[in-house]
Amino acid sequence: MEKATFAAGCFWGVEEAFRHIDGVVDTAVGYEGGTLENPTYEDVCTDRTGHAEVVEVTFDPARVSYGQLVDFFFSIHDPTTLNRQGPDVGTQYRSAIFYHTPEQEAIARAAKERLQASGRFRRPIVTEIVPASTFWRAEEYHQRYLEKRGLSSCHV
């Protein structure tokens, strides 16, 4: 199994979307990329810790490739909006890929360049591609939030 970590706005919907991909064996929501040790949701919501809301995806590379996950990531949000997705505004909602290996970095950068060159977006893609750092698991009530509330409707 391998890990992939993505930030694409509010982590509830992002987690729900990734959970439906064949080859994804587990997901967890949390915080990454900031300076505060062991941040809480309330800390991150202040927009002062530097953390992004992220989804850590555990996947079977024999069933789904990292490249497929990156392409999916780019398809489920607007990677051209800086520090926001829809009504959610703040650095915690930024678009980011936290890579775990040099191979993941190369795949993510190539996908971003390919998408930018495609002309699909008029504005530049602002997705950060940065090394994975400490993943701080979010509070339990955030895990599988939409599923727990019967709002699971995404089928990829």
pTM value?
0.93
Establish how many alpha carbons lie within 13 A of residue 119's alpha carbon, considering only the half-sphere containing its beta carbon: 0
pLDDT digits (tens, 9 = 90+) for 73-115: 999 999 999 999 988 999 999 999 999 999 999 999 999 999 9
Q: β-strands 136-137, 24-32: how paired? A: antiparallel
* Residues 81/126/34/152 CA torsion (nearest 10 deg): 50
pLDDT digits (tens, 9 = 90+) for 36-71: 999 999 999 999 999 999 999 999 999 999 999 999
Annotated catalytic residue, options 10, 64, 70, 97: 10
Superfamily holding 2-148: Peptide methionine sulphoxide reductase MsrA (3.30.1060.10)
In angstroms, rounded to a whole number, what is the distance separating the alpha carbons of residues 133 and 5? 10
Active site residue 154: no
